[in-house]
Structure 1
Amino acid sequence: MLKRKWLISTAACVLICLFWSFLYSLGTGGSLNMLESALQDRVMVQSDAERAPHTDINIIKIDQKSLEALGQFPWDRGMYAELITMLAEAGAKAIALDVVLAEPGNNPDSDAMMAEVMRKYPNVILPVVFNFKARQNAPGEMETESILYPADTIGAGRNQVGHINVMQDNDGTVRMLTVGLEATDGEVVPAFSVKLANYLLDAGNQVQWKEKESAWYRGTERIPLNNRSQIATEFYTKPREEITLQTGYDSQSFVDVYTGEIDAAYYENKVVLIGPYAPGLQDEYLTPLSTTLKMYGVEIHANMVQSLVAGKFLTKASAPVNYSIIIAMTLLSLLLFERFTGIKAFAVYGAVALLFLSGWVLSYFMKNYFIAVTYPFLSLSSMFIFTVVMHYVTERKERSRVTNIFGRFVPRTVVDEMLASGEEVKVGGQRRDISVVFVDIRGFTPMSEKLQPEQVIQVLNEYLDICTKAVFKYNGTLDKFIGDGVMAIFGAPISQPNHPEMAVRAALEMKRQSAELEERCLREIGVPVRFGVGVNSGPAVVGNIGSEMLRLDYTAIGDTVNLSARLEANAKPGQILISEETLARVQGIFKTESIGEIKVKGKEKPVLVTEVVGAVDVESASIERRDGEE
């Protein structure tokens, strides 16, 4: 039984591991992965002090104010050339224009102005856009359909471009910075933010692609990218956050700088990003900081720049590590929850879950390391639920088994009543008022001599079956078989106010049912098999008696039991003898004949004994009562 239970639990453990591992292997799709991302978002939220924006990163906004003053988009490229020239001449460290200029403009002179700017100021960065195939061959792949470089009329060099692709997760949220993308010619195009971050980093910490190792480095530190060349980005500003002493990137309207209202010298030694900052320009995305308010693309690039400068790279655990955690949590659950049951199991589950979640949070804050949380936690919970159900089913089976076993000693109705009452059957004895019945076969020894052993057993079983059914019919408890004798208790373990009556009725039932057996034995073997029955009522110690560690018997002991046995020993074949105490309790219910006083073993004085002949007819008893009243 125990081995079978462990086999079932082990099989369930394996299936649970495989199930959650399979779901994890499906990748970033599905609500569970969204939950995983949401939990990571909550942990990564920083306080205002922690997310203070970099003071050398500035944003020039193409906002509604600028659109109203300079006209609707797209603008003439000469305006960008003029503004960039102003900033470059004022000493800006780097200038990034987050506006796609992939096609030649309508005004060739304006393109020529931009080309001159690009030639004269190498610290100007223009965007490259990668267009990916709508249907990829496999999860995680990023097969390119086309790449939009700045138009040839602008003449941007390869060192003056960076991709501006903002990758969204399946829930539409931007969490990752794609450090570099591979072009169709094999060249790796760094992100917009990589190009700008290098202007804020010293020579020893530059972000660069090492082709020999096929890896990105920040200085000597390898950047822990996923299989899509991505790293989680930290966010230092909330969407559209205005600048204060500690929050929001320093930002101004395009028109204010372009018209000279804000002096270009303000941007000396700054990294400047110029980009759309108005809803109608369709360059806004959800971020972990808000599920409703979107952040403009230029803000996201600014945050990505600062993430690279800070160098606080978040590492997500690899698939093998997460698979190992799922397996470990499931096995731990199996070992713990097979050992602990009930309330203890719930307490252990809560403690393990709390420790795991605490370790998950600490691994991020101390090591910038994220392990999967949803799948290991669900594997823990699944195994917990399984073991709780298993314990319940096992307990129900055991209860049913014990009930069936106990049901062989007492009637099913008594068993059900005991279970419904919720009372414990205590180890040890209780003083109870009961009636005890002893039954024995008269003529069993001569019968045994005439029959084969198999026939003896058959007759004995028929006799015992008659006794057992009679006891159960009247809600008695079959105490034990003693050779060819039977001991039964009435009034325990469930109290019966009329237990003396039930005991005598059971004895009469045995006498009635044994008539056929007696006749058959007389006909077949020439020896009548008849019962002798003794019944006594009174106090006795009833309970589980024996070795608590090895074996217990539910029985009754005391003088009441002894006298019942003595009465049975003195009963002639077919006689039912009852004591004076039992007679007093069943007076008027049965037809009786006084035997008188007899000397029994164990008693100094003779005891008054009465034979029960049969039950009083109900109609006759009523007539007698009426006659008595008259």
Structure 2
Amino acid sequence: MKQHLTRYLLGFALLLVLLGHSAGFYHIPLITRLDNIIYDAKVVLSMPQKLDDRVVILDIDEKSLAELGRWPWSRDKLATLVSNLFDKYHAAVLGFDVVFAERDDSSGLMHLEALAGRQLKDNLVFQSALQELRPQLDYDARFAEALKGRPVVLGYFMSSENRNALGALPAPVLPAGTFSGRRIDFRSFTGYGGNLELLQKSAASAGFFNMVPDYDGATRRVPMLVEYQGAYYESLALAMVRQYLGNPKVVPGFPPASKNYQAMEWIDLPTPQGTLRIPVDENVSSLVPFRGYQGSFHYIPAADVIAGRARVEDLQHKFVILGTTAAGLKDHRVTPVGNVYPGVEVHANLIAGMLDGAIKYRPSYVLGADVVMLLLAGGVMVFLLPLLSAARAAIASLAVLLFLLAVNFAFWQAGNLVLPLANSLILVFLLYAVNMSWGYFVESRSKRQFTELFGQYVPPELVDEMARNPEGYSMDGRKAELTVLFSDIRSFTTISEGLEPDQLATLMNLYLGAMTEVVRDNRGTLDKYIGDAIMAFWGAPMDDFDHAKRAVLTAIKMQQALVALNKTLVQRGWPELRIGVGVNTGIMTVGDMGSPVRKAYTVMGDAVNLGSRLEGITKQYGVGIIVGETTRDKLKKDFVFRELDRVKVKGKDEPVGIYEPLGLEGEPSRAEMEELKLWGQFLRSFRAQDWDAAEVTLLNLSRANPRYLYEKVYAGRIALYRKESPGAGWDGSWKFDTK
């Protein structure tokens, strides 16, 4: 136990950190993001991908818009649609994924009534004719008449952005005070946009069609009940299912003996044939049981039903939802099964899932299950791994990993229960990594060359530390994850041509001396000078787990030191210097390399070459520092980065992300953070090939801060891609053909 005490303490520390997230004491976004990725993968892998003909989508598609005109259509057409749907096609239930909040004045009745009340109020012939025509011209009344006595569910939306109450709401399914004494985290709204009161009174029911996306913008669940002014209202999908079942009461479901357990876990719809149970989570939302990709339900153009061209067998006894897939009407969602997914099909999936009892179950107590799994897996690994060899530790870790996966998928498939998985996976990988790293860096011992040999290659200030354990260091070549830095003076040829040789030598001595001091102050290994360029690296010969952080701090401090140096140069009448710095982290070969005549302790490898390329393209984007994707991933909790681009540098086919460090976390101003947020919005639009949105965002960025060259770069790319689209398979990257 004493021999492995440090490893036990590290293991328990990791376990406690992850347990805090599972228990809800704090939130670790990375774990939540990974859980969502795993959930989405399970959805895609397990969905049946079969057409469900019980639910039909009446599509306000491009064909219908071309035939009937732009939306909204006049209500007389919708009256015809409703009448045909029930009288000719014998649909079971109709739901509207649209709202009718304003009067329909397209018939001109309002103007005729204005004339009748003023200029023609004494014209008996006009008054008589208007009286006869009014029933035909009052499209709202005709639509309302078509709704009466039929199982029609209107749609409306809830709002939390204001307190506006537009139109009419249906009666709540549960009155205020229903959940008195229980703390249930309903989604609460302060306003709504409802239908005309005339239409609402004529319809059998109504349901809200709000979809509340997760923090990453994806729609995975939909509220079943929401709270407004103390009362509770149902979703469109739930309202349609209730209409189909004969409008049973909504019965909130709580586990037995749930006095101290506040969460509501299901909704029951009791009918003479049995009770339909709908699982809900802590927000009284249900996970969407996606059947497949877009098109898992039968789509029929709405124009075909109005014209009577649709087949009776396609609509008879079906759930029918009127919605849209037309791009211009903007009813699309990001979902686990598609980034552009029709909102109306989300409702269809929910209806089908309710009927099948296929909605996955994610109650509040799954947090407890996650804690138990962490304790079991973590306890075994914390105690076991330090006692095993590297090979047996790998086998044991793999066995625990497979056990966790098997349990999780068994609950998913057999019990419809959604258990968290990311936390347990991260724990397994971290404990394995910590134990293997400890064994390699601390416990492994082999013969080393004398530390004094390194005095030829590394900063003298590190030699004293190395001398304390000379057998711990070797000049032999090895692979390691290090961070490399390259810096270069911009337009150096032009500067050198304008100075006398002795002036140039003095300038270079001042510059290289100042920059070298910064590298050494941050414990870097100075590799070499290449003319006016500087190459340095971190993490060897002394191991430094903060090698990426030190390298990025060095790059920032080099730019700061250059400001002070330029004041000296200007006083001498010399030009100011500007430098570009590239930083990259990755696996490199480090060691004593060269010929029998001359050797150097240096680094080589693809990661080194990429660091050099990054320095070279700083001038393309008009920035002082560019770091690679691996460096940024290691430091995103410590620094604020701006993603500049995804590029393919010369000699590489795979794109890499490049980033500009803006400073340590908390250093950038509020204005800079707002600009960064806007820049992220631009990149999303650009990579989605939404050139109009990207161009507007880029214009706003340029107005706010016109100094960045890369905004001009992107303006040119947008113009290029408008002429020649990069295509559907484009990965968003730009290829550089020069170094």
User: TM-score, with normalisation over the residues of structure 1?
Assistant: 0.55
Distance in 2 between residues matched to 1:157 and 1:185, nearest whole Å = 25
Assess, with a 3 A threshold, how the Cα gap between structure 1 residues 365 and 266 changes in structure 2: closer, same or farther.
closer
Aligned residues: 388
Deviation of the 1:47 alpha carbon: 6.8
Assess, with a 3 A threshold, how the Cα gap between structure 1 residues 319 and 100 changes in structure 2: closer, same or farther.
same
Distance in 1 between residues matched to 2:375 and 2:102, nearest whole Å = 54
* Residue 192 (1) aligns with residue 225 (2): no
Assess, with a 3 A threshold, how the Cα gap between structure 1 residues 139 and 336 changes in structure 2: closer, same or farther.
farther
Q: Write the letter of the residue equivalent to 2:157.
A: V
RMSD between aligned residues? 3.6
Distance in 1 between residues matched to 2:51 and 2:27, nearest whole Å = 30
Distance in 2 between residues matched to 1:313 and 1:95, nearest whole Å = 22
Assess, with a 3 A threshold, how the Cα gap between structure 1 residues 11 and 354 changes in structure 2: closer, same or farther.
same
- Give the match's secondary structure for 2:233: strand
- Runs of 4+ off more than 4 Å: 26-29, 138-141, 199-203, 211-215, 218-222, 263-266, 396-400
* Residue 310 (1) aligns with residue 361 (2): no
Q: Kindly indicate whether the alpha-carbon contact (under 8 Å) linking 1:29 and 1:170 is maintained by their aligned counterparts in 2.
A: no
Distance in 2 between residues matched to 1:139 and 1:111, nearest whole Å = 39
Deviation of the 1:144 alpha carbon: 1.1
- Give the match's secondary structure for 2:32: helix
Deviation of the 1:399 alpha carbon: 9.9
Aligned residue among 426, 449, 456 for 1:378:
426
* Residue equivalent to 1:330: 378
Aligned residue among 135, 138, 141 for 1:112:
141
* Residue equivalent to 1:346: 394
Distance in 2 between residues matched to 1:386 and 1:365, nearest whole Å = 33
* Residue 16 (1) aligns with residue 14 (2): yes
- Structure 2 unmatched runs, 5+: 111-137, 163-182, 256-263, 449-466, 477-739
* Residue equivalent to 1:251: 299
Assess, with a 3 A threshold, how the Cα gap between structure 1 residues 274 and 200 changes in structure 2: closer, same or farther.
same
| Aligned pairs (5 A) from 1:46-445 | 50-90=48-88, 91-106=90-105, 109-121=138-150, 123-133=151-161, 142-156=187-201, 160-186=205-231, 188-199=232-243, 208-210=250-252, 215-219=266-270, 220=275, 222-239=277-294, 241=295, 248-262=296-310, 267-290=315-338, 292=339, 294-316=340-362, 318-392=366-440, 395-396=443-444
Deviation of the 1:62 alpha carbon: 0.6
Deviation of the 1:227 alpha carbon: 1.3
Deviation of the 1:390 alpha carbon: 3.7
Distance in 1 between residues matched to 2:20 and 2:161, nearest whole Å = 26
Q: Kindly indicate whether the alpha-carbon contact (under 8 Å) linking 1:97 and 1:126 is maintained by their aligned counterparts in 2.
A: yes
Q: Please tell me whether Structure 1 or Structure 2 has the larger radius of gyration of its CA atoms.
A: 1
Distance in 2 between residues matched to 1:328 and 1:57, nearest whole Å = 44
Q: Kindly indicate whether the alpha-carbon contact (under 8 Å) linking 2:49 and 2:293 is maintained by their aligned counterparts in 1.
A: no
- Give the match's secondary structure for 1:153: helix
Assess, with a 3 A threshold, how the Cα gap between structure 1 residues 27 and 79 changes in structure 2: closer, same or farther.
farther
Distance in 1 between residues matched to 2:299 and 2:444, nearest whole Å = 70
Assess, with a 3 A threshold, how the Cα gap between structure 1 residues 159 and 218 changes in structure 2: closer, same or farther.
same
- Give the match's secondary structure for 2:158: strand
- Give the match's secondary structure for 2:283: coil
Distance in 2 between residues matched to 1:231 and 1:59, nearest whole Å = 21
Distance in 2 between residues matched to 1:158 and 1:189, nearest whole Å = 16
Q: Kindly indicate whether the alpha-carbon contact (under 8 Å) linking 2:93 and 2:319 is maintained by their aligned counterparts in 1.
A: yes
Assess, with a 3 A threshold, how the Cα gap between structure 1 residues 338 and 222 changes in structure 2: closer, same or farther.
farther
Distance in 1 between residues matched to 2:373 and 2:229, nearest whole Å = 38
Deviation of the 1:177 alpha carbon: 2.9
- Give the match's secondary structure for 2:198: coil
Cα offsets for 1:485-520 (capped at 9, x unmatched): xxxxxxxxxxxxxxxxxxxxxxxxxxxxxxxxxxxx
Deviation of the 1:221 alpha carbon: 6.3
Q: Kindly indicate whether the alpha-carbon contact (under 8 Å) linking 2:58 and 2:299 is maintained by their aligned counterparts in 1.
A: yes
* Residue equivalent to 1:538: none
Q: Write the letter of the residue equivalent to 2:40.
A: D
Distance in 1 between residues matched to 2:96 and 2:268, nearest whole Å = 25
Cα offsets for 1:195-227 (capped at 9, x unmatched): 223455589xx6833389965125446543211
Deviation of the 1:146 alpha carbon: 0.9
Distance in 1 between residues matched to 2:332 and 2:209, nearest whole Å = 13
- Give the match's secondary structure for 1:33: helix
Q: Write the letter of the residue equivalent to 2:391.
A: I
- Give the match's secondary structure for 2:398: helix
Deviation of the 1:27 alpha carbon: 8.1
Q: Write the letter of the residue equivalent to 1:232.
A: L
Distance in 1 between residues matched to 2:388 and 2:96, nearest whole Å = 63
Distance in 2 between residues matched to 1:375 and 1:88, nearest whole Å = 51
Distance in 1 between residues matched to 2:13 and 2:306, nearest whole Å = 66
Deviation of the 1:378 alpha carbon: 0.7
- Give the match's secondary structure for 2:218: coil
* Residue equivalent to 2:176: none
| Aligned pairs (5 A) from 1:582-597 | none
Deviation of the 1:313 alpha carbon: 2.8
Cα offsets for 1:134-180 (capped at 9, x unmatched): 9xxx9976331212221213233685101111222222222113222
Distance in 2 between residues matched to 1:61 and 1:393, nearest whole Å = 63
Distance in 2 between residues matched to 1:170 and 1:184, nearest whole Å = 26
| Aligned pairs (5 A) from 1:451-600 | none
- Give the match's secondary structure for 2:279: coil
Q: Kindly indicate whether the alpha-carbon contact (under 8 Å) linking 1:28 and 1:170 is maintained by their aligned counterparts in 2.
A: no
Shifted more, 155-164 versus 309-318: the winner is: 155-164
Cα offsets for 1:507-554 (capped at 9, x unmatched): xxxxxxxxxxxxxxxxxxxxxxxxxxxxxxxxxxxxxxxxxxxxxxxx
* Residue equivalent to 1:32: 31
Q: Kindly indicate whether the alpha-carbon contact (under 8 Å) linking 1:87 and 1:265 is maintained by their aligned counterparts in 2.
A: no
Assess, with a 3 A threshold, how the Cα gap between structure 1 residues 395 and 211 changes in structure 2: closer, same or farther.
closer
* Residue equivalent to 1:44: 43
Q: Kindly indicate whether the alpha-carbon contact (under 8 Å) linking 2:152 and 2:204 is maintained by their aligned counterparts in 1.
A: no
Distance in 2 between residues matched to 1:388 and 1:287, nearest whole Å = 38
Distance in 1 between residues matched to 2:293 and 2:414, nearest whole Å = 24
Cα offsets for 1:547-603 (capped at 9, x unmatched): xxxxxxxxxxxxxxxxxxxxxxxxxxxxxxxxxxxxxxxxxxxxxxxxxxxxxxxxx
Deviation of the 1:94 alpha carbon: 0.8
Assess, with a 3 A threshold, how the Cα gap between structure 1 residues 261 and 222 changes in structure 2: closer, same or farther.
closer
Q: Kindly indicate whether the alpha-carbon contact (under 8 Å) linking 1:334 and 1:387 is maintained by their aligned counterparts in 2.
A: no
Deviation of the 1:64 alpha carbon: 0.5
Deviation of the 1:265 alpha carbon: 7.3
Q: Kindly indicate whether the alpha-carbon contact (under 8 Å) linking 2:154 and 2:203 is maintained by their aligned counterparts in 1.
A: no
* Residue equivalent to 1:404: none
Q: Write the letter of the residue equivalent to 1:32.
A: I
Deviation of the 1:282 alpha carbon: 0.5
* Residue equivalent to 1:481: none
* Residue equivalent to 1:581: none
Deviation of the 1:229 alpha carbon: 0.8
Aligned sequence identity (%):
19
Q: Write the letter of the residue equivalent to 2:411.
A: S
Distance in 1 between residues matched to 2:475 and 2:86, nearest whole Å = 89
- Give the match's secondary structure for 1:369: coil
Q: Kindly indicate whether the alpha-carbon contact (under 8 Å) linking 1:27 and 1:139 is maintained by their aligned counterparts in 2.
A: no
Shifted more, 214-223 versus 350-359: the winner is: 214-223
